[in-house]
Amino acid sequence: MSTTAHTPRRRRLRVRSRGRPPVDADSDVRSALLDAASKLFLKHGFERVTARQIAVAAETTPAMIHYYFGNKLGLFRAMLERAIGPVRELIAGSLSQAGAVIDPAMLIRMHMRTAAANPWIATLIVNEVLAEKGRFRATFIRDVAGRQAPLVMELLQRARGAGSLRQDLDVRLAALSLMSLCIFPFLARAVAGPVLGLTYDDEEIERLITHTARLFVAGAASAASPEHHA
Amino acid sequence: MSTTAHTPRRRRLRVRSRGRPPVDADSDVRSALLDAASKLFLKHGFERVTARQIAVAAETTPAMIHYYFGNKLGLFRAMLERAIGPVRELIAGSLSQAGAVIDPAMLIRMHMRTAAANPWIATLIVNEVLAEKGRFRATFIRDVAGRQAPLVMELLQRARGAGSLRQDLDVRLAALSLMSLCIFPFLARAVAGPVLGLTYDDEEIERLITHTARLFVAGAASAASPEHHA
DNA sequence: CTTATATTTAAACACATGTTTAATATTGCG
DNA sequence: CGCAATATTAAACATGTGTTTAAATATAAG
């Protein structure tokens, strides 16, 4: 007894009969797949998430991925476009729009606040850009970093021309340092947290941002010995 | 004609008969597996390399992985121990040995030279430490970063006590910035190269190191306005 | 010389993966 | 209503994965 007696454990939440279901405004399989794909792909990476996991999370079947997106990679790309769009507009707009008045410290604050508010950006970069076979590397280089980098370098060059940065500063190396300071703390969160005793709570993030902006500006500005500015 | 006529394409290089082979000093299957595992695991990551790929590279069969190391993970761990050992000794020794005389700039130079000379360190960190399911994360936190970080923070604290660093500097945040500046340029090499027009040749690496050391020291040292030191 | 032990190959195994197919039920249009 | 287009499920498919096994053979031990 008690072999199959109680709770036969139906796994499927929404038991649906075969064939086209009746109209239901709350049932949007395509969006459910995109939502599930966002949650799983962005956290664990393309390779580490199976089509079945996404289907289960979206309360449907793997065949629906094929039906709506062709295959797993098509779903990944559609999901990415939806996720990246707002961020791309944000960085492109804020830089080109108020281009003249922005300074390096403000740029650092913007970048770090964006990275802190969207943790999936860091995991996406680790899994799909920095990893050798990352599915997002080419697009990222072309559409994100490829557009961002020239603006950052131009900003630094202008700041150097205005005298707020050291004259012998290499803007390419400085841009790399700036990005390192802004991005790495969020990539390395899982290590830096326990090892340095960081909590990554809001208050600490703000202190980190202030610290970073000051470090970069001071480090890129000061000459070996402070020059006598007339 | 010309269907199966010519070159039957034997894939196996070393055609060996079944059973225990005769003694041959040049044939060390265990070492060959470790070598192949180093080359492949460190470049592409644990998940992206198959047992058969390693076996082929070592000119043997997947069953030998089971025979000598139990399974794929056992081979990975044995390979890691062999690869990490020298690096661990290097960082541990050089820091605790000449502990009193080292300064932050020298620390930066050491770290960056090590990262530049061993490209596999960066790929290993991306694939097996920063990635969520990285097989090396726990060990890295315990044995590498967990030992390194306290030494770095103590070094910074001493430098601050000696007056060469700003008094209100948060050593934990400064340690994070220092690591960001040292490590990220090598993690992001595939992006920073094309996007910033960097070549990562020896001469440029040296300029990057000099630039980074100067940026950090100046950024962590200078007060908002240079204090009048008597 | 005999027997046990070590090392290796080829083949199979069990399982998970992305993908496709056949069946089926609903919708919407003529 | 009738019928094509649409949306869905369950099942199968092909392939690749880590792993295990059985057989084979050379060496070592007694």
Average pLDDT over residues A43-65: 96
pLDDT mean across residues, chain A: 86
Q: Residue A208 in contact with residue A192, Cβ under 8 Å?
A: no
Q: What is the four-CA torsion angle of B210, B215, B221, B224, rounded to 10 degrees?
A: 150
Q: How confident is the model at residue B178 (pLDDT cuts 50, 70, 90)?
A: very high
Encoded amino acid at A192, one letter: A
* Residue B230, pLDDT above cutoff 50: no
* Structure-token pair, residue B20: 């225990």
Q: Which bases on strand D have an atom closer than 7 Å to a protein beta carbon? A: 5-11, 16-28
CA B212 to chain centre: 19
Query: B59: helix, coil or strand?
Result: coil
Q: Which helix (H) or strand (E) holds A120?
A: helix A119-124
Phi, then psi, of A100 in degrees rounded to 5: -75, -30
How far apart, in Å, are the Cα atoms of B147 and each of A34, A169, B25, B39? 42, 34, 40, 27
Phi, then psi, of A180 in degrees rounded to 5: -55, -50
B222 touches strand D (CB under 7 A): no
How are the residues of chain A apportioned to helix, strand and coil, as percentages rounded to the nearest 5? 65, 0, 35
Nearest C-alpha neighbor of A80 from the set A91, A67, A69: A69
Nucleotide lying nearest to B65, CA to C1' measure: D19
* Residue A18, pLDDT above cutoff 90: no
Greater model confidence, B163 or B193:
B193
B67 touches strand C (CB under 7 A): yes
Judging contacts by C-beta atoms under 8 Å, the chain A residues touching residue B191 are 129-130, 137, 140-141, 145
Separation between Cα atoms, residue B88 and residue B124, nearest integer Å: 14
Query: How far in angstroms lies nucleotide D15's C1' from the CA of residue B50?
Result: 14
Q: Which bases on strand C have an atom closer than 7 Å to a protein beta carbon? A: 6-11, 16-28
Nucleotide lying nearest to B28, CA to C1' measure: C7
Nearest C-alpha neighbor of A140 from the set B192, B19, B73, B63: B192
Nearest protein residue to nucleotide C6 (CA to C1' distance) is B20
Q: What is the four-CA torsion angle of A148, B133, B190, A142, rounded to 10 degrees?
A: -40
The model's pTM is 0.88
Q: Do A207 and B170 touch (CB under 8 A)?
A: yes
Query: How far in angstroms lies nucleotide D14's C1' from the CA of residue A49?
Result: 20
Separation between Cα atoms, residue A83 and residue A34, nearest integer Å: 10
Q: Do A45 and B131 touch (CB under 8 A)?
A: yes
Query: How far in angstroms lies nucleotide C19's C1' from the CA of residue B92?
Result: 51
CB atoms inside a 10 Å sphere around CB B27: 14
Nearest protein residue to nucleotide C10 (CA to C1' distance) is B18
Judging contacts by C-beta atoms under 8 Å, the chain A residues touching residue B140 are 191
* Structure-token pair, residue B84: 């990490």
* Structure-token pair, residue A165: 């940065």
CB atoms inside a 10 Å sphere around CB A95: 19
Size of chain A, expressed as the number of residues it contains? 230
Q: Residue A135 in contact with residue A128, Cβ under 8 Å?
A: yes
Half-sphere exposure of B176 (CA within 13 A, CB side): 31
* Structure-token pair, residue A66: 């094929």
Q: Do B176 and A185 touch (CB under 8 A)?
A: yes
A18 touches strand C (CB under 7 A): yes
pLDDT tens digits for A47-56?
Answer: 999 999 999 9
pLDDT tens digits for B57-96?
Answer: 999 999 999 999 999 999 999 999 999 888 877 766 666 6
pLDDT tens digits for A131-158?
Answer: 999 999 999 999 899 988 999 999 999 9
Average pLDDT over residues B149-157: 92
Nearest C-alpha neighbor of A205 from the set A122, A98, A99: A122
Q: Which helix (H) or strand (E) holds B69?
A: helix B62-69
Q: Mind giving me the DSSP string for A67-108?
A: HHHSSHHHHHHHHHHHHHHHHHHHHHHHHHHTTTT--HHHHH
Q: Do B191 and A129 touch (CB under 8 A)?
A: yes
Q: Do A172 and B126 touch (CB under 8 A)?
A: no
Burial of B170 (0-12, 13-18, 19+ CB in 10 A): middle
Spatial CB neighbours of B111, under 8 Å, sequence gap ≥ 6: B179, B182, B183
Enter the DSSP assignment of A127.
I
Query: Looking at residue A96, what is its pLDDT?
Result: 63
Q: Do A195 and B145 touch (CB under 8 A)?
A: yes
Query: Looking at residue B138, what is its pLDDT?
Result: 95
Distance from CA of B116 to the nearest CA of A (A): 15
Separation between Cα atoms, residue A96 and residue A54, nearest integer Å: 38
Query: Looking at residue B228, what is its pLDDT?
Result: 40
Nearest C-alpha neighbor of A182 from the set A148, A136, A137: A148
